[in-house]
Structure 1
């Protein structure tokens, strides 16, 4: 008798209830294994833990729906400890010892860049849910993919916001010394520094961000700027933002999508109020059935609303599962499936990949408010006029 099939997001197939029961009780054929390399400890642990929760939500959902053609999904998660070298070692171990065809990771651009040459060497898929450095584009479409857009897009979009919405022509750019921040900062500089507009760039390390000498230099250079643009990982930016606000530096502040990690944002509280940033569009309250399934499963397990990092990690697993169910389990099968993927509907929105393997997704402007990420369009009249007025005062002496 013909079985009823359950559809995965994006059209993948799973076996019916009996298959799911066999999987949940540990019976049935050998499991399909994916790897994951995430910063579960160290400086970037907040991001890695959010990514892990999204991956585990996806793994559980896939297995409850019958797995991949009747085979249980097991995701082997390894901790990079926020260290690119350890990430590369973990990738190599997963590929050579565990024989996985695909690895989800890394949590940061530096980790992904450390693993990307190994993906090419061993001809295994590296799929990052959060690495955004434009340098990663040089590997994209071969065996490296990501469902977080390149920072080249965010940097250019932020430059347009500052130039054409705030009408500023002078920016002090703070850039943390890492691949993530450099990619964003360079894209912003290139876009903004035209038609006589000026970018004063001040690089810093995480260790010096809150130090008195660095803050003194920042205060001196901020006097010539109409807008401050702070680029780096959230925990490393926090001491700098705290110092600038403590010294009452009255300039509109813009930052980056790394602020959108839920637990970091809640911990920072009102300190980040008024900081505007762009991130890939994401709405956990969407009426989309795919989003509702994800948020319901996630909230029942972790008892809070999933953030954008959890959503992207969930989607990374679900798109890989969909491709494996449709195309096959080898790295080459997965690669071909990803390159032909169009309009995959995930928790983070609709997803397609261009010919280079780069994801195509829109951005949205947000503002930090009382420890939460708020879409700027919902508070536009309250936030934007004040920023524009302050830029006008600084630019024209009004």
Structure 2
């Protein structure tokens, strides 16, 4: 993997790596794959596309890796795709919900595990409008100024249009620059809006999102903040502490500590074998990705190569990974999961909630 092991998104890359390593340790303890041990090579790109491309050259051309797993971010994924296509190597379960990784028909060399940002934000918008009674124009966006933020906004705007939004000019959209904490101008635009929103959907990294939320609340802005899973809920909760109470984060895997689903129980056991750090949604996603990749390896008949690994994954069809829902990968479907779970920050922790609980007490509701 080429991932963010440093910088403002470093927590995400380190957690993805932890989860993948826990899964690798599990299979190596059992003798590996056909007697061969797995090894993870993780290079730091700091969540900067300019650093991703050299890392991918190193991994694909010099290290000759079997596959790339769990890369973090949309802009870095965009930088990776040309070489992935050229070298015909699997780009598996990136930590991104961007549409550029979800073509129809799917790209052979890109296979996703998680729900898309469009699905996460659609779930938010449906809850805010259908359950919370908000009008589409009462929902604003705070996004990162790059492919990640743009992917979230495009998905959100499409969801609002389905609920009757007529024009993009009706949506308040404020932005900040990637790998910075320069959120003050975005906040000023929000505070000076003629019609302040009741909810703000956030598509950013945890550090700038935390700063934006803290400053907004200190400025007296009464809105519901909702974040997509990429924010990293554990990191966001740690950054905000009690200032984060009530902030919503959608998740694409079950709760890592409160769920007793089979895969989650195995994750906790296997992670404890490699360290004593806290469990997290991100490391659980990395673990689930590695376990899915292993399931594809086990389907391979004959030599395990870059091409036969993809064939093995496409032969999985509908399968049960132990997360309470069926997953599916085949030649026509390269996104295994579609479910979205809502959670909320409370006293520095992340707790599961229902959508009805999310919208209860929502400012600006026009009906119960």
TM value normalised by structure 2: 0.88
2:351 maps to 1:374: yes
CA–CA separation in structure 2 for the residues paired with 1:41 and 1:272: 24
1:238 corresponding residue in structure 2: 210
* Other structure's SS at 1:132 match: coil
1:5 corresponding residue in structure 2: none
Contact 2:251 2:342 (8 Å CA) reproduced = yes
2:92 corresponds to which of 110, 114, 127: 127
1:331 corresponding residue in structure 2: 306
In structure 2, do the counterparts of structure 1 residues 348 and 263 end up closer, same or farther at CA, with 3 Å as the change threshold? farther
Deviation at 1:127, TM superposition (A): 0.9
2:132 corresponding residue in structure 1: 166
Deviation at 1:196, TM superposition (A): 4.6
2:335 corresponding residue in structure 1: 358
Q: CA RMSD in A?
A: 2.4
Deviation at 1:225, TM superposition (A): 2.1
In structure 2, do the counterparts of structure 1 residues 261 and 196 end up closer, same or farther at CA, with 3 Å as the change threshold? closer
CA–CA separation in structure 2 for the residues paired with 1:273 and 1:364: 18
* Deviation sequence 1:350-388 (CA, Å, 0-9, x none): 4322514122231111111111111113x955x53211x
Within 5 Å, which residues of 2 pair with 1:284-363? 284=256, 285-327=258-300, 328-341=303-316, 342-345=318-321, 350-353=326-329, 355-363=332-340
2:158 maps to 1:190: yes
CA–CA separation in structure 2 for the residues paired with 1:153 and 1:251: 22
In structure 2, do the counterparts of structure 1 residues 53 and 62 end up closer, same or farther at CA, with 3 Å as the change threshold? same
CA–CA separation in structure 2 for the residues paired with 1:208 and 1:52: 25
1:201 corresponding residue in structure 2: 173
2:148 maps to 1:175: no
Q: Of the two, which has the highest radius of gyration?
A: 1
1:105 corresponding residue in structure 2: 70
Unaligned 5+ runs, structure 2: none
* Other structure's SS at 1:228 match: strand
More strand by share: 1
Deviation at 1:91, TM superposition (A): 1.6
In structure 2, do the counterparts of structure 1 residues 349 and 63 end up closer, same or farther at CA, with 3 Å as the change threshold? farther
Unaligned 5+ runs, structure 1: 1-35
* Deviation sequence 1:293-328 (CA, Å, 0-9, x none): 221121343224421211111122222223223304
2:33 corresponds to which of 65, 68, 76: 68
2:4 maps to 1:39: yes
Deviation at 1:182, TM superposition (A): 1.3
2:21 maps to 1:56: yes
2:238 corresponding residue in structure 1: 266
Contact 1:141 1:339 (8 Å CA) reproduced = no
TM value normalised by structure 1: 0.82
Deviation at 1:102, TM superposition (A): 0.6
CA–CA separation in structure 2 for the residues paired with 1:222 and 1:42: 36
Contact 1:40 1:80 (8 Å CA) reproduced = yes
Deviation at 1:133, TM superposition (A): 0.8
* Deviation sequence 1:221-267 (CA, Å, 0-9, x none): 17432322222111121111111100111122222223444234223
CA–CA separation in structure 2 for the residues paired with 1:40 and 1:196: 40
1:144 corresponding residue in structure 2: 110
CA–CA separation in structure 1 for the residues paired with 2:116 and 2:353: 21
Contact 1:209 1:237 (8 Å CA) reproduced = no
Structure with larger RCO (C-alpha < 8 A, sep 6+): 2
In structure 2, do the counterparts of structure 1 residues 66 and 357 end up closer, same or farther at CA, with 3 Å as the change threshold? same
In structure 2, do the counterparts of structure 1 residues 256 and 121 end up closer, same or farther at CA, with 3 Å as the change threshold? same
Deviation at 1:134, TM superposition (A): 0.9
